[in-house]
Structure 1
């Protein structure tokens, strides 16, 4: 008797959708690429409709980037054995390649889950005080993604502000005194109709972009076709876009190497200050971010010197969330920024 044919095994789903296959949303993709070129930019705030590819783009970019070299057993992804924190008690100090971390910070998360806390299981079973790392430890040297960031609880916002400022997570509780590096690219997304972001956290984001659902049928059809092709044959679809993703990865790595040599003339820094004064930006973080973003874009485009064209291209994403409100001006942010650029960077 003939045995029935076995059903084919389902294909393992790849980690992420190809970054190069994302349709449209060019400003969002550029902002994310710039943070990959210069992680010190301060992260990206993405506001817009649901289902516009915000979380997909973050995970796709992280998957696109080359893996990081880290100690195998280190919970904070230390690049060298001597940098492993004492509290980690790592047995395996060999160096391995790990994917660039992408950590989700969910709404309603507890403070202990974010910063880490006493390992209760070890305390009960062994009578030892040991630290259980939190999400900030896992995100070190990678990306921390917060969906609906404008709905995040205030005490968690305060924690993130402290860590974003220092690049270090400090835990003083339950008889523990722990500190570890926590340097990551912060990416937040949300819908502005569901609430505003606290000004203190808003200012910490280096770049901000608005995304919208495509309005023309052709673009919407292309999005659906690509997503359907990915869902039906993930490995085959990723193979079709592998060359484009590899080229983008190579361009990012070249830009990282060129970044320290990319010059920015003093006249351009004066332009940065002029624009920030025109939008009413508080403090000097706006000027610094404009300079860094312009330099990152120039390096990414292969230019040896930053020009006004680079500044014009990054200015909307750097200044939109720093624009001071004017009750007498009903124009949208984009219109006001365009007007300021036309006036001060003719």
Structure 2
């Protein structure tokens, strides 16, 4: 069971923006931050102060709302980064450090003893500055479990408020990710945060598993953007928690679709129509059985109403349509159908036109087909 007091932290403006080819202008960065805050997101990882330049221009404006939102500044495991971040006025920081052998050897070129000392020293420094301190166990999927526990105890005793369990290359499944969360909670009381990458499409599932295992915090990105295959999608995670676990994250779900389009535009990317929760096809219905059911009761083929997430319902005419939806659209255009046979003939021509167009048939095209048939055949 997932606790009701879990905390969503959005990292669209940090890990999300690290997606190859994505670069938010200061204006877009502030616009996305404000949209997240207005939707009810209370924890936001806003960026990397050490990048300086235009990144800091945006962060300074974002920090004007730090009384409303817990704004986290991300830092490498470098003292100068943390000094600079705190000088800007951040009250919460994250320290990124790896814990796996492969990352220690080939990424930072350091030993485990160096890591333990550096991590505890940096945590103590930031705590002395009065900060909320989050710290990573990066590449937790390839981190020795005994060392993970030793590291968790060390940073907890140094005063860290939170340990981020980062499945950096997304190699864990739900069972193995949950076991990492439990391994930490077995040895110390530090709060844990799920940070799951989507390399195998398991980011949302692993996040839910981590929360079931006792994690308090979890990361999401709008549209699931981020490094490589991205991060857990905000809309999918929020709605999974709401509908499948009865957990309220405090997010106004009616903002989810507009948030998605805002970030898609800032990334210069098109959203796939089948993007869960917010895609244009999610509440669109074409096949005969589906549309017939939807015309009678919208709950037949929708898990929840589209207005909940700011989306909209659409009935489509196409290759897989049935007579019921043709009747619906024709009557909506003022046609009174006296003979059922014409609907069957309409259906055949609709299917041919849909194949020819490789897509949807419009209501106007349907009406043209109907009128053409009336002229060609004497229906009695």
- Say yes or no: TM over 0.5: no
Please, what TM-score do these two structures have when normalized by structure 1? Answer: 0.31
Q: If you compute each CA radius of gyration, which structure gives the higher value, 1 or 2?
A: 2
Please, what TM-score do these two structures have when normalized by structure 2? Answer: 0.28
**Greater length-normalized contact order (CA 8 Å, ≥ 6 residues apart):** 1
